[in-house]
Amino acid sequence: MKFIHIGDTHIGAVYKNETRNEDVKDSFRQVVDSAVREGVDFIVHAGDLFNEGNPSLDALLFATDQLNKLKTAGIKMFIVPGSHDVGIGEKDSILELFDRNGLLVNLNSKRYIKNSEESFKLYGETYKNAFICGVQGKRSRVENDIFKRLSIDIDSDAWIKIFIFHHTISALGEQFKDLDTESLPKDFDYYAAGHWHGHKDGIKYDRGIIQYPGSTEYCDEKEIVDNPNRGFYLIEYDNNGIRYIEYKILKTRQKDIFELSASGRSADDINDEILSKLTQNDGKILVVKITGKMLGKRSELNIAGIRRAANAIGYSYSSINTAKLTDNDDVSIATQEVDLTRIEADFLKQRNYNAEQIQLAKILIDAMENGMDAHGIKKKAEEWFEKYDNKRN
């Protein structure tokens, strides 16, 4: 028997770049095609199927088509909602819709949970001699409480026991943790983890192992620079347990990553050097990091011109990062092109806005950026307040 473990597919737009949005979809398509080709028995997905809890129609249609491909091939997909799979103000996840249509199994559907004061009783499924269950991720900090009260009805006759979760654990580093590793339930052979976008395997725990496949595509510039491989696990098991685990690498775009020091150099000089490094290509990703203190003004750098030149010779996406560049004025606040959303969120957090207020701000900023008119923006805001009120009640 064989299964695939993936996570963090983030279907839906991540980049404000159509090619990259297609790449995100293509990574999931690659996994589905491998599953069909390898003839796997099932897939476990560790959450964040979608990038947002209210995905675009394009994302919904794409997911429907891919899940139908699996269904036709007789491959079930078991999943728990990730932190991104629950819409703002929603109690249920968008995954519930797909569960009800028989396109996946949401292991945190109400039928799998009995929640009371004393315990969080969790049921799973036994499928192809594997027992599978899991706990969904949270939008904010995890309620460790669920893990403390967790009681699982494990099928002891199953050949292997799989626990799916969507949290970072202390084994990845104390600074990243949602959860102490020790809070995870015992007696499982395979812990299918998600939420951590880097890949990390072979973390020993109790009698099993914890594995993070990472995201199937780069979700921001840092991931492009830091984590060269994207992939998933293929696991084979029989009545003696797990036989082997293989990490399969997904095809991603080639990258050109240049870091250059601007110290003591003029804008023209820097522009020329960047342009001289660019080469004709077929859709590469370009990341240029400019650091140090330049002569003259940052505004003299021709960022738009560099982008145009890159685009003209084939680059599909370019990020010119000047977060660590200063000039003689020096007082200018460092900006980073990618991940503006995070900068905005951090800024608001510093001013003590809470998570919900930041979410509202994000909706409004996105609406304005997308050129929405006043009427549209007002409607967006009203929708949000309505959901917010429902959640409060």
Q: How far is the CB of 168 from Mn ion (least distance, A)?
A: 10
The first and second tokens of residue 127, run together, are 């499928």
Smaller CB separation from Mn ion, 84 or 289: 84
Q: Out of 23, 48, 85, 217, point to the residue binding Mn ion (CB under 5 A).
A: 48
Smaller CB separation from Mn ion, 48 or 99: 48
**Distance between CA 376 and CA 248 in Å, rounded?**
44
Smaller CB separation from Mn ion, 167 or 307: 167
Q: Cα–Cα distances in Å, from 311 out to 19, 124, 202?
A: 12, 49, 41
120-122 sheet: strands from edge to edge: 113-115, 120-122, 150-152
Is 52 a binding residue for Mn ion by CB under 5 A? The answer is: no
Region binding Mn ion by CB under 5 A among candidate stretches 8-16, 110-118, 147-155, 328-336: 8-16
**Distance between CA 110 and CA 92 in Å, rounded?**
9
Phi-psi region of 208 (alpha: psi -120 to 50; beta: other; left: phi over 0): beta
Q: By rule CB under 5 A, what string of x and - marks binding of each residue 96-135 to Mn ion? A: ----------------------------------------
Task: Select from 92, 77, 149, 91 the least CA-distant residue to 119.
Answer: 149
Is 178 a binding residue for Mn ion by CB under 5 A? The answer is: no
Task: Select from 272, 254, 253, 277 the least CA-distant residue to 262.
Answer: 272
Q: How far is the CB of 222 from Mn ion (least distance, A)?
A: 13
Smaller CB separation from Mn ion, 194 or 208: 194
Region binding Mn ion by CB under 5 A among candidate stretches 44-52, 258-266, 289-297, 356-364: 44-52
Q: How far is the CB of 68 from Mn ion (least distance, A)?
A: 24
Smaller CB separation from Mn ion, 62 or 131: 62
Render 45-66 in DSSP notation, one character per residue: E-S-SBSSSS--HHHHHHHHHH
**Distance between CA 365 and CA 6 in Å, rounded?**
32
What one-letter code names the amino acid at 292?
Answer: G
Q: How far is the CB of 376 from Mn ion (least distance, A)?
A: 28
The size of the interface with Mn ion (CB under 5 A), counted in residues, is: 2
Are 211 and 192 spatial neighbours (Cβ–Cβ below 8 Å)? yes
What one-letter code names the amino acid at 376?
Answer: G
Is 327 a binding residue for Mn ion by CB under 5 A? The answer is: no
Smaller CB separation from Mn ion, 318 or 359: 359
**Distance between CA 359 and CA 262 in Å, rounded?**
37
Q: How far is the CB of 217 from Mn ion (least distance, A)?
A: 11
Region binding Mn ion by CB under 5 A among candidate stretches 7-15, 64-72, 313-321, 346-354: 7-15
The first and second tokens of residue 194, run together, are 């998600």
Q: Out of 8, 23, 96, 221, point to the residue binding Mn ion (CB under 5 A).
A: 8
Cα 291–chain centre separation: 28
Smaller CB separation from Mn ion, 28 or 237: 28
Region binding Mn ion by CB under 5 A among candidate stretches 41-49, 153-161, 343-351, 352-360: 41-49
Cα radius of gyration rounded to whole Å, the chain: 23
Region binding Mn ion by CB under 5 A among candidate stretches 37-45, 48-56, 155-163, 352-360: 48-56
Determine how many CB atoms are found less than 10 A away from the CB of residue 349: 13
What one-letter code names the amino acid at 79?
Answer: I
Residues 282-311 that bind Mn ion (CB under 5 A): none
Q: How far is the CB of 12 from Mn ion (least distance, A)?
A: 12
Residues that bind Mn ion (CB under 5 A): 8, 48
